[in-house]
Amino acid sequence: MDFDGFYRDTSRRLLRYAYGLTGDPAEAQDLVQEAYARAWQRRRRLAGYDDPEAWLRLVVNRLSADRWRRIGVRRQRAAAQAPAPPAPPPSEDVVLLVRAMRTLPPSHRRALALYYLLDRSVTDIAAETGASTGTVKSWLSRGRAGLAAALGPLEPALMPEGTHDAH
């Protein structure tokens, strides 16, 4: 396996996926870095896998789940430390979407991130998560409904051209 090529071909997608799970660019970068460090340690074994990128996503997913479990402890530690220098603010749309994603159960977040950020099919997501295609469809449907409820109605000015009602 050409690990450098593998990294070049997959790192941007994996970062998008991690960002979809965490909603935090720095945390997403940390998760991806850790996943590739683990992949490098297991590169010979990884070369024999049918889909090494799926293995990376699994690692990122597990690291992300661990992060959500530890988030309370990290907040306490962060409060005791000096604040980091300010980063440029995300757009209002990103803030709203991330806030809405955080209200969803992890399975719904994961399914939405795989489907919309990585263009994975329902069948691919089912295979990767070990769930049935019906369960994945349910996660996607419930995830979209949860996002719609969390986001509320869109203002007409925010809607794409041609989607306004003609009254």
Query: Residue-wise pLDDT tens for the chain (167 aa)?
Result: 789 999 999 999 999 999 988 888 999 999 999 999 999 999 999 889 999 999 999 999 999 887 766 665 556 666 666 666 777 777 888 778 888 888 999 999 999 999 988 899 999 999 999 999 999 999 999 999 999 998 887 655 454 454 444 44
| Six token digits for residue 132 | 């049935």
Q: End-to-end alpha-carbon separation of the chain, Å?
A: 59
How far is C-alpha 38 from the geometric centre of its chain's CA atoms? Answer: 19
Q: In this structure, is residue 160 part of a structural domain?
A: no
3/82 same-domain check: yes
17 vs 32: CA distance, rounded Å: 9
Domain containing 34 equals 1-87
Does some domain include residue 159? no
**What's the pLDDT at 159?**
47
Return the pLDDT at 140: 96
Phi, psi of 165 (to 5 degrees): -75, 140
State how far the Cα of 27 lies from the Cα of 74, in Å rounded to an integer. 12
Q: CA 124, CA 133: separation in Å to the nearest integer?
A: 9
Same domain, 78 and 48: yes
The reply to whether 165 falls in a domain is no
Inside any domain, residue 164: no
CA–CA separation, 87 vs 107, rounded Å? 29
Asked if 30 and 119 touch (Cβ cutoff 8 Å), the reply is no
Question: Which residues have a Cβ under 8 Å from the Cβ of 131 and sit 6 or more positions away?
Answer: 107, 125, 139
Cα 93 from Cα 66, distance rounded (Å): 27
167 part of a folded domain: no
What's residue 78's pLDDT? Answer: 61
Structure tokens at 28: 């997403």
Considering the domain architecture, whether residues 29 and 108 belong to the same structural domain is answered as no
For residue 46, being part of any structural domain is answered with yes
pTM, two decimal places: 0.56
DSSP state of 160: P
